């Protein structure tokens, strides 16, 4: 659960990417985590880009490029479908 009083929002492009992820079969939900201002995924990353960091049972840990930095997200999945969903995310984004 996020710390009380912290602002947990993201840019419009990131929200659109999250909506596309939520539409994938097997995705239970997407939780937005902390944001880190002034950071970047890479030189060529655009707002809304997503990079998968780790696949674990029950979900996928990733970060997305927002307008002001990077934002952590956790993609909650049905058990056993993490690899397929990760491949789908890389294809649609």
For the chain, the distance separating the N- and C-terminal CA atoms, rounded to the nearest angstrom, is: 27
Q: Quick check: is 62 in a domain?
A: yes
- Report residue 78 as tokens: 């049905």
Angle at which helices 12-22 and 82-92 cross, to 10°: 140
Return phi, psi of residue 12, to 5°: -60, -40
- pLDDT per residue of the chain (93 residues) written in tens, 0 to 9: 444 444 456 788 888 999 999 999 999 999 998 888 877 777 777 888 899 999 999 999 999 888 888 889 999 999 999 999 999 998 887
Q: Quick check: is 45 in a domain?
A: yes
* Full domain range(s) for residue 82: 12-92
**CA-to-CA distance for 51 and 63, rounded, in angstroms?**
5
State if pTM tops 0.85.
Answer: no
Q: Quick check: is 74 in a domain?
A: yes
Owner of token pair 């997200």: 73
């Amino acid at each position: 659960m996020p710390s009380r009083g912290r602002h947990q929002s993201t840019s419009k492009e990131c929200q659109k990417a999250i909506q596309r992820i939520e539409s994938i079969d097997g995705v239970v939900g997407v939780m937005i985590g902390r944001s880190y201002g002034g950071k970047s995924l890479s030189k060529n990353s655009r707002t809304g880009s997503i990079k998968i960091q780790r696949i674990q049972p029950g979900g996928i840990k990733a970060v997305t490029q927002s307008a002001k930095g990077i934002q952590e997200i956790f993609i909650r999945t049905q058990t056993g479908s993490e690899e397929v969903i990760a491949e789908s995310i890389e294809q649609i984004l």
